[in-house]
């Protein structure tokens, strides 16, 4: 007894009380001791203290022990009451115990007191425990009953021996729709709704023996024929030593429906995922363990167990994609993003890569917010990728095509902003693609051009009709070009309108057109001039020829009075000179045309040249009563110049003869001076007071075959060659020529010439002359292929001086034969036009057996084509007829040295 108990002692004798208390003290009972000497104290302590046990004397002067017990039992029936008395008789003791006293102890046997107190207290404990147990049982029975009544599962209680239904709860009654009477005292196998399931005896015996049976899903029929699904669980247990079976029947119809619905949903989801080529997955962040929806493995062709860990999966991701995929996952796990997104290739079982789009997020975190589980969806996007790649490839292909197109191409939106430009457009506007895109570029064009662009754009956008227009376009370098722009409307599948433009730059075509027109005009002009020239030439030839022939007749016949012989000879002579001049002009002109009029620069005395020309025209000028003068300014009177003397002389002759020809009265003056005092340049002039030339014809008169349009000119005759030859010669000699003239007043033809390096050239000229003197080709043989006798003789006489031996062939075939017969031949002069076989053919054939022998072709002047043909045929050089002695020597010498 550990608990400290409160002992109330009713005793009128203090001595006895002390003695009794001492016995309690000496025991091991922990206690508080309350002594009541009379009824009043007794009742007070009983009320005020929570007394555990009462000890009482039997006889008290004013009170009675039995009375005290009665009072205590009425108010506190559980407090044990023990009589401690010296006077108590046996009957009284038995009576008191029958009345409820726990015990009695005689004062002369007080050693019993402590055990009596202890026993009483123990019994009290036991009693209170039993009471508690009884109360608990009642409570549990009530609870059980309530549960039984209120349960939302059906409950059947069976007698385990007989199988009879002993109880059924309201829920089952309501669930199945049968009355309680229809259940009670029926054997379970008698009841129809359990038929064929637990309702047969065998099944019941199984249940009896196993003491437990469970059916997850039993289909039952209710009284109104409705089907329900139940879960059936039964347990066997003892009730008051009697075995009962409790069957719990749970209606799972709704759960079943929900499960079916879930199943249906899941299979729908599976189907949807299958259709969408999708699968779900889950990764345990801590362990790396992955769980894949079966679709994912299926999509890749592997068994699902192949992928246990995230790393297993990463092993089949394309090496180039592993990095970005893993870093996307890390970013999610480290909280940088709340979504994981990656696109990667995966090696399928069949060995090809498939593209996947993967998206996921954290679905479970620990208490600190650290991700535990990541889940997501993966979608097979191979087809999309394939389409994208195909699109990209076709875009690249298209880009390549449009960038290869030489015509500039652009696409604009309705705000005139560029959406696409090709390389040709960029180079036209001198801008990069990225600078063009998104801009109108209008700021680079003059306003009037922009207005035209906008008007044309709007026309196409508004009418939808194609527009083709010629426009001016300032390119990226500021050059104004003429372009033809074709603009077409394009509407995409979302209804957006675009304008597709293709530019055709026709600037060069335009220029070419102008050139062609000009060339045509020139050709027509040239044709016209040539026709005029020919009629002039024939007129110029016929006139002196008539004179010559006519006067020769006179000369050979009888002398006619009035036609003195001298005069006739003079006329013939002058007519011949006219013819000669004409022929010379034509030859000069031909040489110029053929590019063969190369100047031979030598030193020449200026005054000598001018004086010679003066002397030539002195008489004709005087005959026309003209004041004819030559003027050489003092500083350049005695100078020598480096020039081609015959050509300079020719120029002066042409100009002076024109001046005299076109001047009826007045003067003709010619001469020269330093040009503006510069000692390195001379200014020549031929001034007259003749008919003059219209200003617009000042340049024209220098063109070949050209003559002034003035009617007067016709009477002067001429071929229109003189001035063009003069111009060509002056330019060849390094100067320029121009005319200043006023019709009716007179003209001044002027030209400049460089003085030249007199010292150096004199020396070179001297050396050249000396060199020529020493030309000595004695012992060498050359072959001249020339059908024309006169020409051959000319060659022979020119070459005679060199001592060379000359053989002649009269046609190409003859030349080949001669070359074969005479191996000593060191060079061939080959005429191109010859009978039997021409020079070109002969050269070609010679080249078949002799590749080295130098062959110099002689081509007709001005026939440029012939020269080229000659070189092509295998000739080493060519000479233009009429042959120039110097050039011929030079050429031969360069080969046979
Ligand atoms: P032509 O043989 O016809 O004189 P030119 O070439 O020498 O050929 O001259 C061309 C034309 O230039 C002449 O026909 C004439 O119309 C004009 N011309 C040349 N010199 C003079 C001049 N001193 N005064 C007026 N007209 C001239």
User: Predicted confidence band at 200 (pLDDT cuts at 50, 70, 90)?
Assistant: low
- With a pLDDT cut of 70, the percent of the chain lying above it is 92
DSSP secondary structure string for all residues of 36-58: ESSHHHHHHHHHHS--SEEEE-S
Provide the pLDDT for residue 692: 93
Of 609, 624, 615, the C-alpha closest to 688 is: 624
Question: What residues are paired with 877 via a beta bridge?
Answer: 856
Residue 720 alpha carbon, nearest atom of ligand 1: 8
Between 261 and 171, the higher pLDDT residue: 171
Per-residue model confidence as pLDDT tens digits over 53-79: 999 998 888 888 889 999 999 989 889
Ligand 1 mean position, distance from CA 725 (Å):
12
User: Predicted confidence band at 423 (pLDDT cuts at 50, 70, 90)?
Assistant: very high
Report the interhelical angle of 789-800 vs 885-896 (nearest 10°): 70
Provide the pLDDT for residue 723: 92
Residue 571 is encoded by which pair of tokens?
Answer: 């006329």
Which residue out of 532, 582, 704, 718 has the highest number of ligand 1 atoms within 8 Å of its CB and is therefore the one to mutate? 718
Ligand 1 mean position, distance from CA 611 (Å):
23
Pocket of ligand 1 (CB under 6 A): 654, 658-659, 662, 688, 690-693, 701, 707-708, 713, 718-724, 747
Three-state DSSP state, 754 = strand
User: Predicted confidence band at 198 (pLDDT cuts at 50, 70, 90)?
Assistant: low
* Pairing of β 480-491 and β 497-505: antiparallel
Provide the pLDDT for residue 2: 67
Residue 690 alpha carbon, nearest atom of ligand 1: 24
Dihedral sign, CA of 130, 134, 135, 139? positive
For the ranges 292-306, 409-423, 771-785, 793-807, the one whose mean pLDDT is highest:
409-423
Ligand 1 mean position, distance from CA 711 (Å):
13
What stretches of 523-626 adopt beta strand conformation (E)? 602-605
Residue 778 is encoded by which pair of tokens?
Answer: 């004695």
Per-residue model confidence as pLDDT tens digits over 128-173: 888 888 888 887 788 888 888 888 888 988 888 888 888 999 998 8
User: Predicted confidence band at 535 (pLDDT cuts at 50, 70, 90)?
Assistant: low
- φ/ψ of residue 19, rounded to 5: -65, -50
Between 549 and 507, the higher pLDDT residue: 507
Residue 591 is encoded by which pair of tokens?
Answer: 């040489």
Ligand 1, atom 23: nearest CA belongs to which residue? 659
CA atoms of 803 and 148, how far apart (whole Å): 157
Provide the pLDDT for residue 814: 94
Q: Residue 883 contacts by C-beta under 8 Å, 6 or more apart in sequence?
A: 794, 795, 798, 858
Per-residue model confidence as pLDDT tens digits over 844-872: 999 999 988 999 988 764 455 677 788 88
Ligand 1 mean position, distance from CA 736 (Å):
18
Ligand 1, atom 8: nearest CA belongs to which residue? 720
Half-sphere exposure in the Cβ direction for 276 (13 Å, CA): 13
Provide the pLDDT for residue 717: 65
User: Taking 80 as the threshold, does the pLDDT of residue 568 lie above it?
Assistant: no
CA atoms of 295 and 316, how far apart (whole Å): 17
CA atoms of 755 and 253, how far apart (whole Å): 130
Residue 717 alpha carbon, nearest atom of ligand 1: 3
Provide the pLDDT for residue 280: 84
CA atoms of 679 and 736, how far apart (whole Å): 17
Distance of CA 688 to the CA centre of its chain: 77
Dihedral sign, CA of 154, 158, 164, 168? negative
Ligand 1 mean position, distance from CA 717 (Å):
9
For every residue of 344-412, which 3-state class applies, written as one string?
Answer: EEEECCCCCEEEEEEEEEEEEECCCCCEEEEEEEEEECHHHHHHHHHHHHHHHHHHHHHHHCCCCEEEE
Radius of gyration of the chain (CA): 72
Provide the pLDDT for residue 435: 92
Ligand 1 mean position, distance from CA 708 (Å):
7
Stated pTM of the model:
0.36
Provide the pLDDT for residue 319: 94
User: Taking 60 as the threshold, does the pLDDT of residue 763 lie above it?
Assistant: no
Which residue out of 579, 652, 662 has the highest number of ligand 1 atoms within 8 Å of its CB and is therefore the one to mutate? 662
CA atoms of 656 and 621, how far apart (whole Å): 10
* Pairing of β 103-106 and β 81-85: parallel
CA atoms of 56 and 9, how far apart (whole Å): 6
Identify the residue whose tokens are 């009617």.
711
Ligand 1, atom 22: nearest CA belongs to which residue? 659
For range 11-38, the mean pLDDT: 92
Of 872, 870, 844, the C-alpha closest to 857 is: 870
Ligand 1, atom 4: nearest CA belongs to which residue? 718
CA atoms of 199 and 213, how far apart (whole Å): 13
CA atoms of 459 and 447, how far apart (whole Å): 18
Ligand 1 mean position, distance from CA 701 (Å):
7
User: Taking 70 as the threshold, does the pLDDT of residue 769 lie above it?
Assistant: no
User: Predicted confidence band at 194 (pLDDT cuts at 50, 70, 90)?
Assistant: low
H or E element in which residue 103 lies: strand 103-106
Ligand 1, atom 19: nearest CA belongs to which residue? 658
Ligand 1 mean position, distance from CA 641 (Å):
28
Per-residue model confidence as pLDDT tens digits over 353-396: 989 999 999 988 888 888 999 999 888 888 888 888 888 888 88
User: Taking 70 as the threshold, does the pLDDT of residue 583 lie above it?
Assistant: yes
Distance of CA 20 to the CA centre of its chain: 117
Provide the pLDDT for residue 177: 86
Provide the pLDDT for residue 485: 92
Which residue out of 535, 663, 701 has the highest number of ligand 1 atoms within 8 Å of its CB and is therefore the one to mutate? 701
User: Taking 60 as the threshold, does the pLDDT of residue 483 lie above it?
Assistant: yes
756: burial class by Cβ within 10 Å (0-12, 13-18, 19+)?
buried
- Number of residues written out for the chain: 897
Ligand 1 mean position, distance from CA 707 (Å):
6
Residue 163 is encoded by which pair of tokens?
Answer: 């199988």
User: Predicted confidence band at 770 (pLDDT cuts at 50, 70, 90)?
Assistant: very low
Ligand 1 mean position, distance from CA 855 (Å):
43
Ligand 1 mean position, distance from CA 527 (Å):
20
Ligand 1 mean position, distance from CA 604 (Å):
28
Provide the pLDDT for residue 765: 45
Of 491, 480, 470, the C-alpha closest to 428 is: 480
Of 764, 770, 796, the C-alpha closest to 883 is: 796
Provide the pLDDT for residue 761: 47
User: Taking 60 as the threshold, does the pLDDT of residue 544 lie above it?
Assistant: yes
CA atoms of 158 and 179, how far apart (whole Å): 17
Which residue out of 652, 708, 725, 730 has the highest number of ligand 1 atoms within 8 Å of its CB and is therefore the one to mutate? 708
Q: Which of 340-349, 545-554, 646-655 is predicted with the least confidence, judged by mean pLDDT?
A: 545-554
For range 679-688, the mean pLDDT: 93
Provide the pLDDT for residue 715: 66
Residue 710 alpha carbon, nearest atom of ligand 1: 16
CA atoms of 151 and 573, how far apart (whole Å): 161
Mean model confidence pLDDT for the chain: 85
């Amino acid at each position: 007894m550990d608990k400290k108990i409160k002992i109330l002692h009713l005793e009128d004798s203090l001595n006895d009380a002390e003695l009794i208390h001492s016995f309690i003290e000496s025991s091991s009972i922990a206690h508080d001791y309350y002594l009541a000497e009379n009824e009043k104290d007794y009742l007070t302590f009983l009320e005020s203290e929570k007394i555990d046990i009462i000890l009482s004397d039997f006889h008290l002067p004013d009170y009675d022990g039995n009375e005290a017990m009665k009072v205590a039992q009425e108010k506190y029936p559980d407090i044990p009451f023990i009589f401690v008395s010296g006077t108590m008789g046996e009957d009284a003791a038995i009576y008191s115990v029958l009345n409820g006293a726990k015990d009695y102890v005689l004062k002369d046997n007080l050693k019993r007191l402590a055990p009596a107190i202890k026993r009483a207290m123990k019994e009290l404990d036991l009693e209170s425990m039993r009471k508690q147990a009884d109360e608990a049982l009642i409570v549990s029975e009530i609870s059980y009953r309530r549960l039984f009544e209120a349960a939302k599962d059906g409950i059947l209680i069976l007698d385990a021996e007989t199988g009879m239904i002993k109880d059924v709860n309201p829920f089952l009654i309501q669930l199945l729709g049968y009355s309680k009477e229809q259940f009670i005292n029926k054997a379970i196998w008698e009841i129809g709704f359990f038929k064929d399931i637990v309702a047969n005896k065998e099944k019941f015996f199984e249940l009896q023996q196993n003491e437990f049976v469970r059916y997850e899903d039993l289909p039952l029929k209710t009284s109104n024929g409705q089907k329900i699904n139940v879960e059936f669980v039964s347990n066997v247990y003892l009730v008051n030593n009697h075995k009962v079976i409790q069957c719990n029947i749970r209606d799972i119809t709704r759960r079943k429906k929900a499960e079916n619905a879930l199943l249906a949903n899941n299979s729908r989801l599976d189907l949807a995922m299958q259709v969408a080529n999708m699968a779900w997955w889950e990764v345990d962040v801590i362990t790396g363990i992955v769980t894949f929806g079966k679709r994912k493995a299926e999509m890749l062709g592997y068994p699902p167990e192949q992928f246990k860990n995230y790393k297993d999966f990463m092993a089949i991701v394309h090496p180039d994609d592993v990095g970005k995929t893993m870093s996307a996952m890390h970013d999610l796990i480290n909280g940088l993003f709340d979504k994981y997104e990656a696109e990667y290739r995966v090696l399928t079982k069949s060995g090809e890569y498939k593209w996947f789009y993967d998206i996921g997020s954290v679905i479970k975190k620990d208490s600190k917010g650290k991700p535990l589980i990541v889940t997501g969806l993966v979608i097979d996007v191979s087809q999309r990728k394939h389409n994208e790649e195909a699109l990209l490839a076709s875009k690249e292909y298209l880009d390549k095509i449009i960038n290869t197109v030489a015509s500039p191409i652009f696409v604009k939106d309705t705000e005139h902003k560029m959406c696409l430009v090709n390389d040709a457009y960029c180079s036209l506007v001198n801008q990069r693609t990225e600078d063009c895109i998104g801009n109108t570029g209008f700021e680079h064009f003059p306003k009037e051009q922009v207005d035209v662009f906008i008007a044309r754009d709007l026309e196409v956008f508004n009418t939808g009709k194609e527009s083709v227009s010629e426009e001016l376009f300032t390119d990226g370098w500021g050059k104004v070009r003429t372009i033809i722009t074709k603009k077409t409307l394009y509407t995409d599948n979302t209804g957006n309108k675009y304008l597709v433009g293709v530019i055709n730059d026709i600037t060069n075509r335009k220029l070419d057109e102008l050139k062609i027109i000009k060339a045509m005009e020139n050709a027509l002009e040239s044709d016209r001039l040539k026709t005029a020239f020919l009629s002039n030439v024939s007129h110029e030839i016929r006139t002196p020829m008539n004179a010559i022939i006519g006067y020769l007749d006179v000369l050979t016949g009888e002398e006619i009075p009035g036609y003195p012989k001298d005069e006739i000879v003079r006329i013939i002579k002058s007519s011949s000179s006219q013819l000669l001049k004409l022929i010379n002009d034509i030859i000069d002109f031909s040489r110029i045309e053929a590019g063969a009029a190369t100047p031979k620069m030598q030193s020449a005395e200026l005054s000598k040249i001018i004086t010679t020309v003066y002397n030539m025209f002195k008489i004709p000028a005087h005959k026309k009563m003209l004041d004819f003068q030559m003027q050489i300014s003092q500083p350049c009177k005695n100078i020598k110049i480096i020039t081609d003397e015959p050509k300079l002389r020719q120029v002066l002759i042409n100009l002076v003869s024109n001046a005299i020809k076109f001047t009826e009265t007045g003067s003709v003056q010619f001469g020269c001076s330093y040009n503006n005092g510069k000692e390195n340049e001379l200014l020549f002039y031929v001034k007259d007071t003749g008919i003059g030339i219209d200003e617009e014809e000042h340049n024209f008169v220098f063109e070949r075959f050209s003559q002034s349009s003035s009617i007067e000119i016709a009477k002067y005759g001429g071929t229109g060659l003189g001035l063009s030859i003069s111009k060509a010669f002056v330019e060849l000699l390094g100067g320029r020529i121009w005319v200043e003239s006023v019709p009716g007043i007179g003209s001044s033809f002027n030209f400049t010439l460089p003085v030249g390096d007199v010292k150096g050239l004199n020396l070179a000229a001297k050396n050249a002359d000396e060199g020529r003197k020493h030309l000595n080709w004695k012992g060498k043989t050359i072959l001249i292929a020339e059908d024309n006798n006169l020409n051959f003789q000319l060659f022979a006489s020119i070459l005679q001086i060199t001592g060379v031996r000359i053989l002649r062939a009269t046609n190409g075939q003859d030349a080949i034969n001669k070359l074969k017969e005479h191996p000593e031949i060191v060079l061939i002069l080959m005429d191109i036009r010859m009978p039997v076989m021409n020079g070109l053919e002969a050269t070609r054939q010679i080249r078949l057996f002799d590749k080295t022998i130098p062959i110099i072709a002689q081509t007709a002047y001005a026939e440029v084509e012939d020269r080229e043909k000659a070189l092509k045929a295998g000739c080493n050089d060519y000479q233009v007829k009429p042959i120039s002695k110097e050039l011929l020597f030079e050429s031969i010498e360069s080969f046979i040295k």
